[in-house]
Structure 1
Amino acid sequence: MSSYEAYEAELVVGTRDLVADGVLALTLRHPLGEELPGWEPGAHIDVILGPGLERQYSLCGNPADRHEWRVAVLREPGGRGGSAHVHEQLEAGGKVRVRGPRNHFALLPSPRYLFVAGGIGITPILPMLAAAEAAGADWTLLYGGRTRDSMAFTKELRPYGGRVRVVPQDEYGLLDLAGALGGTPQPDTLVYCCGPGPLLDAVEERCAGWPSGTLHVERFQPRIPEVTANQEPPAEAEFEVVLERSGRTLTVPADATVLDTVRAAGVEVLYSCTEGTCGTCETDVLDGTPDHRDSVLTDEERAAGETMLICVSRCLGKRLVLDL
């Protein structure tokens, strides 16, 4: 379900812990000690660091603790400034505005799980392990990173023993996806994967023959569309978007997004990443066929066409009717 009123508040930074080389874990609490909204494994929050500086971070603490949220942030030297701001300016006792939580990576019930994490992709997986363990499910985690020192939360994973395989690349090479996923689908098994794009692409390729709905991934960066050599990108076309609740019809130009057009018309909508990765701007589609270009919705959700991410997706026809 999209188009909802999200919780938004200014929270206080509690602890700051360096949990790996370049990875800072922060806890966030309400300044008056009030309870925070509940969340389930796989959820993330929007952290509003300043004008034009908004980032999404997975919750990696204990969902049962309603008074504290925990996130972990990898400092990216080549990033756009969000991680540097967190590492350098969010001091203990300081305040930061947050919105959420939101979950497009929910852990579904299953007797068996295979979790695959790469680098900072361990953050949404961590509370999933505790949930799977509490449910009595059979599970394993394959966790890769550049070096052992760069891999966060390895101490918290130790009590799980042999269920967890920690694979630093400088010691063992790349993750053995062929061995982990095998040549044939494993019965009654769901696969959850989070990490860098190449890892997700490789896991998707390995799971191509598995039953629909088996694989669940979360991307931190937009999916890169496949383009053949010398292929020209398709020409965009303008289309109409009808805002059902606002009673307005707008024209989306070829060089603008639905989100751009709606905001330019003065209609307030929630949005964040503008890259189709966070899900904040997911909007219900009442009529028309979306041209999905996001990295969030599943194949089943895309086929249903009931929602779309208006920051990147367009229209396959001439007209869309949206619940805005």
Structure 2
Amino acid sequence: MTLLDLQITRKRLVAQGIVSLELRDPQRRPLPAFTAGAHIDVHIGPQLTRQYSLCNAPGDTDRYLLGVLLEPHSRGGSAAMHQRFAEGDTITVGAPRNNFPLAPARRSLLFAGGIGITPMLSMAEALWHTHDDFELIYCARSAAHAAFLDRLATAPYAPLTRVHLDDGPAAQRLQMDRLAQEDPATTHLYVCGPKGFIDYVCQAARAQGWPEPHIHVEHFTPVAPAGGDALTVRIASTGQSIEIPPDQSITTALERHGVSIPVSCEQGICGTCVTRVISGEIEHRDGGYFTEAERARGDQMTPCCSRGRGTLVLDL
């Protein structure tokens, strides 16, 4: 894996609980290129890596720009980004990767909820640059919680941007019946944000006949980190069977029985924990690491957040 030691050249508050961080090479060398929707792994400390979307224009080669929400129940990642790292500090990151790319389409709809605006900013920049037809729909609790409003207001694609605030007039709130005006056969829909927001947008799209391949989703947190049916994991190399409690991830439960699987993001995004499944029914809960075709094969999973039914035999 390519690792880069970058300097935080600018850090500022862009909304309540959200900071932006600008990262540059200390020697001002060009950075590895990235595509719209990409993220980088930020190595915050030993065994602590988090993924953050790049929100600057894909054509930028001199910097990476991140937006980070301070999670109320932070497991160390967002708290460190907000409180420990300051301008001038050096931080280690991985080269950009993209699990949420743009697909060729006649038209694109970008739905962002809260901090989900970050990958959409990069997408909007890319689509504007290529003169593609698109619209950016940004929803937030209030103007105080909406990040990068100043950037959106002055962007060349400002006329293509719609901002909806929960505390605003009812007429200005998001109404999904607007999808009836779109052509699902030629339009692709992208959505990122809190789970409730993602579910709301996706359910509305499906109800109006949107084909599944035209709905693209990125989760910033696991869909359901715990809970589910009774589950037993069998270790193929030893035959050991381990019961997985509903309130524990597979990796946590196995670790307590002496079986260690490397983990990083714990959200099914980075792929560090990907494990081959020899047999059993997988309940995929990864944050978009696998494609639908890969999920359908049923031969690998992200045990940091995914589960299963009955007994899973893992190639460990």
Query: Is 1:172 equivalent to 2:169 in the alignment?
Result: yes
Query: Is 1:279 equivalent to 2:270 in the alignment?
Result: yes
Per the alignment, residue 215 of structure 2 pairs with: 215
Per the alignment, residue 50 of structure 1 pairs with: 45
Query: Is 1:312 equivalent to 2:312 in the alignment?
Result: no
Give distance in 1, aligned partners of 2:65 and 2:158: 24
| Aligned 1:51-130 pairs, distance under 5 A | 51-130=46-125
Per the alignment, residue 135 of structure 2 pairs with: 140
Give distance in 2, aligned partners of 1:286 and 1:75: 35
Q: Which amino acid aligns with 1:302?
A: R
What 5-or-longer segments of structure 2 have no aligned partner?
A: none
Give distance in 2, aligned partners of 1:64 and 1:250: 51
Give distance in 1, aligned partners of 2:116 and 2:123: 12
Residues 48-75 of structure 1, C-alpha deviations (whole Å, 9 max, x = no match): 2224543221111122222311101123
Q: Which amino acid aligns with 2:163?
A: V
Distance apart, 1:45 and its partner CA = 1.6
Give distance in 2, aligned partners of 1:79 and 1:95: 22
Per the alignment, residue 230 of structure 1 pairs with: none
Distance apart, 1:87 and its partner CA = 2.0
Give distance in 2, aligned partners of 1:81 and 1:266: 21
Q: Which amino acid aligns with 1:214?
A: H
Give distance in 1, aligned partners of 2:100 and 2:31: 20
Distance apart, 1:165 and its partner CA = 0.6
Q: Which amino acid aligns with 2:306?
A: S
CA 1:260 to 1:185, structure 2 compared with 1: closer, same or farther past 3 Å?
farther
TM-score (norm 2): 0.82
Give distance in 2, aligned partners of 1:182 and 1:136: 24
Query: What percent identity do the matched residue pairs reach?
Result: 36
Give distance in 1, aligned partners of 2:52 and 2:241: 31
Give distance in 1, aligned partners of 2:193 and 2:11: 23
Q: Is the 8 A contact 2:138 2:162 kept in 1?
A: yes
CA 1:121 to 1:320, structure 2 compared with 1: closer, same or farther past 3 Å?
same
Distance apart, 1:98 and its partner CA = 1.8
Q: Which amino acid aligns with 1:165?
A: R
Query: Is 1:253 equivalent to 2:257 in the alignment?
Result: no
Distance apart, 1:319 and its partner CA = 3.4
Query: 141, 158, 183: which is aligned to 1:161?
Result: 158
Per the alignment, residue 22 of structure 1 pairs with: 17
CA 1:265 to 1:171, structure 2 compared with 1: closer, same or farther past 3 Å?
closer
SS at match of 1:84: helix
TM-score (norm 1): 0.80
Distance apart, 1:306 and its partner CA = 5.4
| Aligned 1:262-277 pairs, distance under 5 A | 269=262, 271-276=263-268
